Amino acid sequence: MDAAKFMSLMISMVFINNFILSKFLGLCSFIGVSKETRPAVSMGLAVTFVTTLSSLITWLIYRYLLIPFNITYMRTISFILVIASFVQLVEMVIRKTSPGLYRAFGIYLPLITVNCAVLGVAVLNSEAFFVDGRPVPGSFWMSLAQGFFAGAGYLLAMLLMSGIRERLELQDAPKSLQGVPLAFIVASLMSLAFMGFSGFKF
């Protein structure tokens, strides 16, 4: 994969096609964990880890198992099994190394298993980098890069949102807007800002 294609993939997944702010996937954890910066960054790193490694494994499964045996209709369930396995691994590591962070994540850490952003990356890889059942040149590395930069875009959105929400806690907002309503307003404004990147041409 040449440098120009790599750079265009990076800019596309982080800014133009950001899974949260452009495709609106993974909003449950985005709203739920972005109240404070530390859990938000940790969640972003966990999602990046899962999207990167699941992109690697799902590419191999799709290329060497589903396509040769003509069972591509099993794509969704096989991808979910891979993602669930990695989420369990991440959950065990965080629970062992940082119990406080594990408690801060609460229910949202297991929700990575059903996070549509993670599944969306794996499905997008299988649709974008395979033509007529054959991988395009460099598709393995492009899938890996797309998984990593999709996670990086998720991390960026989480970091920005958590910073804004921490500042908003110090403001005197109307009671009816405090909490989730104001978070959705901020998310919509961030999404409008990120729409400005859609004018980039490669």
Digit-coded pLDDT (tens) for 69-121? 999 999 999 998 888 888 888 888 888 988 887 887 777 777 776 678 889 99
Q: What is the mean pLDDT of the chain?
A: 88
Residues 180, 32 contacting (CB under 8 angstroms): no
What global pTM score does this model have? 0.87
Q: In this structure, how many other beta carbons lie within 10 angstroms of the beta carbon of residue 90?
A: 21
The DSSP bridge partners found for residue 131 are 134
Rounded to 5 degrees, φ, ψ at 130 are -130, 130
Packing angle of the helix pair 139-168, 3-11 (nearest 10 deg): 30
Q: What is the pLDDT of residue 102?
A: 83
pLDDT of residue 187 exceeding 80, the answer is: yes
Residues 90, 112 contacting (CB under 8 angstroms): yes
Alpha-helix residue ranges (DSSP H) falling in the chain: 3-11, 27-33, 37-61, 75-97, 99-105, 116-128, 139-168, 180-194
CA pair distance 122, 15, nearest whole angstrom: 19
Distance of CA 118 to the CA centre of its chain: 5
